[in-house]
Amino acid sequence: MTNWRAVGIGFLVIVITGALATGFPVVGHIGAGIIGGLAAGYVAGGGLMSGAWHGLLAGSVAGLVLTVGFAVVVGVLGLAGGPLGGALGFGGVLVGGLVVTLIFAVDSALAGALGAVFS
């Protein structure tokens, strides 16, 4: 059973540490996923699979929320170049964001499994 409180805490940790990590490109954002996954796994407890599941959900939700948010902003800004500019901007960010979501999900799942071991 999914502990949505653990997923929510992991999501918030990923978003907050990700915002603070903007000064450390790549390493900072991957680290944000790891820290958030650890938090989700620790709060969920219940063993490796439970921790991995909750870390995966926290990383996926964070990645999807950030992707959709950035895609909408870029799509609206792209409308200055006409409808095609908005569509291409939205689509490009959406595809790139899905790759970032996958990265967040994988490292958060591994860290979540580790976090569950420590709970």
Buried b (16+ CB within 10 A) or exposed e, 78-113: beeeeeeebeebbeebbeebeebbebbbbbbbbbbb
Give 59-84 pLDDT, tens digit per residue: 999 989 988 888 888 888 888 878 88
CA-to-CA separations, 66 to 83, 90, 118, 119, in angstroms, rounded: 23, 13, 29, 28
**pLDDT confidence band for 24 (50 / 70 / 90):** confident
Full-model pTM:
0.86
Average pLDDT, rounded, for the chain = 89
